Amino acid sequence: MKRVTFARLPSDRAGPIIRDLMGREYVDLHAKIGKDEKFRYVPILPEYIDTVGSMGIEMIEGDAHTLDRRSPQEKIHDILTGYPELDGMIPEKWEYVGDIVIVKMDPRCRQYKDLIGRTYAEVLGAKTVCADVMGVSGEFRQPSMEIIYGTETESVRLENGIRYGFDVTKVMFASGNTDERMRMRKLDCTGETVVDMFAGIGYFTLPLAKYSCARRVFACEKNPESYQFLCRNIRDNELTGKVIPILSDNRNLLGMHFADRILMGYVQTTSEFVPKALSMIRPGGIIHYHDTFYVNEYEDRIRSIFDSNCGEDGYEILRIHEVKSYAPSVSHYVADIRIRPSRQNPMQ
């Protein structure tokens, strides 16, 4: 076992001293801070042993209990053990986006954000750590991120053979939609013309275009920043020519009844765009309609939306699936809707 020099600190006075040593970056983050009934034992980096000793702190040698066999959560907690005011507020979960880590940070931790960012970067091997402050908001579903370690915010997420490049501070990536992105990959769209009305950076467009045998995919995106990454991702996934990116509000798309399949991967106000989708879909075509509903009324709400737009006999619900929980008693659902050629359907 590796021998290490520890700063031995009386427990009743250890907190402020540990914070000071951490702030000066004198502490060996690869070894565990130990404790007994009277003392805390803080591992000191070899090059700072004399410096810490000159501060009047007692130094002793001992065996290092390395953090390498401990879980990341345990490592992080051990490093931050000198900050009792953080107890119960240290993020237990995080999300990787390539070599960027995103954590949800309690607002009460803000004064320690530099320490928390550095700790997570060290333990998780991240080049950048960002704190999700307020989730996503606005028409473009933009994230509210604060950089707490590092500077680089662009990364690439590799998922199911698709490269998604984006900037975590500018573009939302819905990690909870993984199963639905996988389903797009497995669809049989042989020879179809597909329209993605809310393409974003290519969340659903890219797996569908690469694996479903669709003939062509028109990917519409209104947010200029998302559109730039959409174009880059089309190129990086070798889909140039098969996916046609369009920078526009989807209500400005041209053409009538030309699409075999339409993706409506948006939530909360999706119903406002159903008339446009119906104007583009061919008789017999399928609309993948996403929206959020209370869990006890989702099917009734979906039927009401399509009843009012194309009549009770103008469509058929093939499938409704819960994508993920969205809020208490509210979930994100996707409904596969086949549009029938019928007299009740206004498009006929």
Q: Which residues contact 308 (CB under 8 A, 6 or more apart)?
A: none
Is pLDDT at 347 greater than 60 in this prediction? Answer: no
Based on DSSP, count helices (H) and strands (E) in the chain, helices before strands.
Answer: 9, 17
Q: What is the mean pLDDT of the chain?
A: 88
pTM higher than 0.85, yes or no?
no
Is pLDDT at 178 greater than 70 in this prediction? Answer: yes
pLDDT, tens digit, for every residue of 291-337? 999 999 999 999 999 999 999 899 999 999 999 998 899 999 999 99
Is pLDDT at 1 greater than 70 in this prediction? Answer: no
Percent of the chain at pLDDT > 70 equals 93
State the span(s) of the chain assigned CATH 3.30.300.110: 94-152
The position carrying tokens 């798309």 is 253
State the span(s) of the chain assigned CATH 3.40.50.150: 176-339
pLDDT confidence bin for 346, thresholds 50/70/90: very low
Q: What pLDDT does 69 receive? A: 57
pLDDT, tens digit, for every residue of 260-303? 999 999 998 999 999 999 999 999 999 999 999 999 999 999 99
Q: Which residues pair with 245 in a beta bridge?
A: 219
pLDDT, tens digit, for every residue of 85-116? 787 778 778 888 878 999 888 888 888 889 88
pLDDT, tens digit, for every residue of 197-208? 999 999 999 999
Please name the CATH architecture into which domain 3-67 falls.
Answer: 2-Layer Sandwich (3.30)
pLDDT, tens digit, for every residue of 78-87? 778 777 778 7
State the span(s) of the chain assigned CATH 3.30.70.2580: 3-67
187-213: average pLDDT: 97
Lowest mean pLDDT among 72-76, 80-84, 341-345: 341-345
User: 114: how many CB neighbours lie within 10 A of its CB?
Assistant: 11
Q: In this structure, what token pair is assigned to residue 250?
A: 């989807």
Report domain 94-152's class: alpha beta
Contact 195, 220 (CB under 8 A): yes
Q: CA 107: distance to chain centroid? A: 20
Tell me which fold the domain 176-339 belongs to: Rossmann fold (3.40.50)
Residue by residue, DSSP assigns 151-169 as S--EEEEEETTEEEEEETT
